[in-house]
Amino acid sequence: MVPYTILSNKPWRGGIDFKTSAARLAHFETFIALVRDRDTGSVHVDPDTGRPRVHYTPSAFDRAHALEGILALCRLCHASGAREIHPFLPEVEPFIRQVAKKNNDDDKEEESRAVPDLAFEAWLDGVRAVGSRTIAHSPFASAHQMGSCRMGSHPGEGVVDGRGRAWEARSLFVADASVFPSASGVNPMVTNMAIADWIARGVAKELAKGE
């Protein structure tokens, strides 16, 4: 992840804190928790400009799912031997691993990872308690939108049929992620390529027949 993208989401505690903490992170990796949201927002036409206006706030149900994803990522980072874990939640301090080395023996550090880390478990409990209250103020982003022109077996079920042809404009075909019947919940590239290939082959067959 490019540094300026992820560091812009770091909880803000002041300019000096940001500069010093960013300068310390010479070797860091970032991960995101993907949530297939259950609840929706709304889109309406602005009465003054005529442009679409989008209103969306993650529901309590979807925020709880996001928090579970963050906790799981923290466990993965801890199991991988991360020295510091920053969940990027407001009011949550990072976890700093206390590494016990003896005689500069790296094996001792590996052994310490296998022992239950009570301090880490206590920190996770704190993340859950504080995060359930502050996650609504954390950065959320949306990507890989799917299903806005979904496939359906009849016009009341979707915008296009099983071959990507629009029900209301039979010369129009749609061949991208918008025809997914529902959001896949993960990056949709392979599925998107397969569906686009399927629809394109169908169009080619109709063109070959002169339709």
Catalytic residues: 144
Instruction: Compute φ and ψ for 7, nearest 5 degrees.
Output: -70, -25
Could you identify the residue written with the tokens 């949530």? 35
* Count of beta carbons in the 10 Å neighbourhood of residue 138: 19
Q: Using the Cα atoms of residue 18, residue 21, residue 25 and residue 31 in order, give the sign of their dihedral.
A: negative
- The neighbouring-strand residues paired with 96 are 84
Letter for the amino acid at 92? V
How many whole angstroms separate alpha carbon 120 and alpha carbon 128?
Answer: 12
- For residue 108, CA distances in Å to 1, 113, 123, 148 come to 31, 9, 23, 54
How many whole angstroms separate alpha carbon 112 and alpha carbon 83?
Answer: 12
Could you identify the residue written with the tokens 């259950």? 38
